[in-house]
Amino acid sequence: MTMINAYDPATADALAAREQEMVERRRRLLGPAYRLFYADPVHVTRGEGVWLYDPEGRAYLDVYNNVASVGHCHPHVVAALADQARQLNTHTRYLHEAVLDYAERLLGYFPAELGHVMFTCTGSEANDLAFRVARAHTGGTGFIVTQFAYHGVTNAIAEMSPSLGAGMKLGQGVYRVPAPDAYRNPDQDVGSIFADHVREALATMRADGVKPAALLVDTIFSSDGVFADPPGFLREAVEAVREAGGLFIADEVQPGFGRTGHGMWGFQRHGLVPDMVTLGKPMGNGHPMAGMVARPEVLARFGERLRYFNTFGGNPVSAAVGMAVLDVIEREKLIENAAAVGAHLRDGIQALAQRHPIIGDIRSAGLFVGTELVRDRATREPATEETASIVNGLRARRVLISAAGPAANVLKIRPPLVFSKENADLFLATLDEVVTEVANGTAA
């Protein structure tokens, strides 16, 4: 299985000379495992807000990056990073107030039951830590993930990330369940269907002699194709796992930090208090920081048996950056912006769907939108090739998104949280042009 929206190195001759040379240098220096986006890779040298710029100074509208969650190179975040870097940056085995101040503030956004936070550098590390804690607390080794999930790249977590491709085999004790797809289960209770699949996985575990450890899900199911509604559908599945002695780990690396427009975390839309929550990308607005938040009673056994140390997790610079990101989310009212602009964006895509039958379903929460493209609304056959043409057609007009889902037919729309209604209107107008060309067979 190839990566969704991946550049094909066999087409290098079509690139400009400078980019050909860079692609060849990447191959020579970085090896064969790395991938680039788009049929024509994007070469960027600068970012600001919702814009990326190429060497010629041409602007690209970024409708994809949740990493720069409060906007590329936000001046307040950059200043906090530079100021702390001028004073001190070291590991967490010395006393320093910055990590404590940040931990206290961050935990204030969580339910009171979640009282501890541990810091890492990446979401992969955060999920790996949650994996270890779940095993220590429950004594179990069985984990449930969704059919096309992505949770990270450590050995254990890559084996829980089937979206990495057929070459990445599931780990021992890892069980897959279908994502909660209301589009292909119309007029049914998607929460009950998902819970039934989880119960079936638990039954298979028991038959295999495997004790449950946890259900691990990205609370917006982004790699599976973005499944957000109805709010609350996760509750029954979580109850089933807990009844079986397992935990619920909410992966908030993609939906977290206000993106869904309903509080800070995706799990809040479901009225749940997870046992652990993992955080990543948007936490540092591009600075590599992540974390795992847990109920104290869940973390207790792990802490008794093992010590934890991460050289860079929670360092003073990261703590300063994390504080600055929270400042921006609060001061610029970015959760409210995600709700308002997200609704405007969804309404605009729904209007396009009246004219373009290829748009089969629109699923969203705040500024996280999945738009499923189909060849026939009756059969719901995935429009995989057309989706690739649309993603690359947008890129040709300097608008950047990507795709998701097992059939790579879901437009994955996930801009920085500073995205405005004017930005959304530009995206919608460009999407309308490209979808029209693809439908007419006139796309380049």
Report the SS3 class of residue 362: strand
d(CA 68, CA 25): 26
Sequence-separated contacts (24+) of 238-245 with Cβ below 8 Å: 238/272, 238/274, 239/195, 240/195, 240/198, 240/199, 240/202, 241/144, 241/198, 241/202, 241/212, 241/214, 241/215, 244/202, 244/212, 245/138, 245/140, 245/211, 245/212
Q: Are 400 and 61 in contact (CB under 8 A)?
A: yes
The one-character DSSP state at 296 is H
d(CA 167, CA 256): 29
Structure-block tokens of residue 93: 């085995």
What pTM did the predictor assign?
0.95
d(CA 117, CA 106): 9
Give me the torsion for CA of 35, 39, 40, 43, rounded to 10°: -30
What is the Cα 216 distance to its own chain's centre? Answer: 14
- pLDDT for residue 53: 98
What is the Cα 314 distance to its own chain's centre? Answer: 21
pLDDT at 440 over 60: yes
Q: Write out pLDDT tens, residues 158-196.
A: 999 999 988 888 999 999 999 999 999 888 999 999 999
Q: Are 323 and 105 in contact (CB under 8 A)?
A: yes
d(CA 380, CA 374): 5
Q: Are 439 and 85 in contact (CB under 8 A)?
A: no
pLDDT at 3 over 80: no
Percent of the chain exceeding pLDDT 70 equals 99
Q: Write out pLDDT tens, residues 98-116.
A: 999 999 999 999 999 999 9
- pLDDT for residue 442: 74
Q: In the Cβ-directed half-sphere of 387, how many Cα atoms lie within 13 Å?
A: 29
pLDDT at 444 over 80: no
Q: Looking at this protein, which amino acid is placed at residue 406?
A: P
- pLDDT for residue 5: 82
Q: Write out pLDDT tens, residues 252-279.
A: 999 999 999 999 999 999 999 999 999 9
Sign of the torsion formed by the C-alpha atoms of 336, 402, 287 and 61: negative
Ramachandran region of residue 139, left (φ > 0), alpha (ψ -120 to 50) or beta? left
Burial class (CB in 10 A: 0-12, 13-18, 19+), 337: buried
d(CA 181, CA 200): 17
Give the residue from 159, 154, 182, 186 showing the smallest Cα distance to 170: 159
Report the SS3 class of residue 330: helix
Q: Write out pLDDT tens, residues 355-388.
A: 999 999 999 999 999 999 999 999 999 999 999 9
d(CA 276, CA 186): 31
- pLDDT for residue 33: 86
Of the listed ranges 21-25, 216-220, 384-388, the one predicted with least confidence = 21-25
Q: How confident is the model at residue 443 (pLDDT cuts 50, 70, 90)?
A: low
Q: Are 66 and 266 in contact (CB under 8 A)?
A: no
Q: Which residues of 377-407 are buried (b: 16+ CB within 10 A; e: fewer)?
A: eeebebbbebbbbbbbbbbeebbbbbbbbbb
Structure-block tokens of residue 371: 């738009």
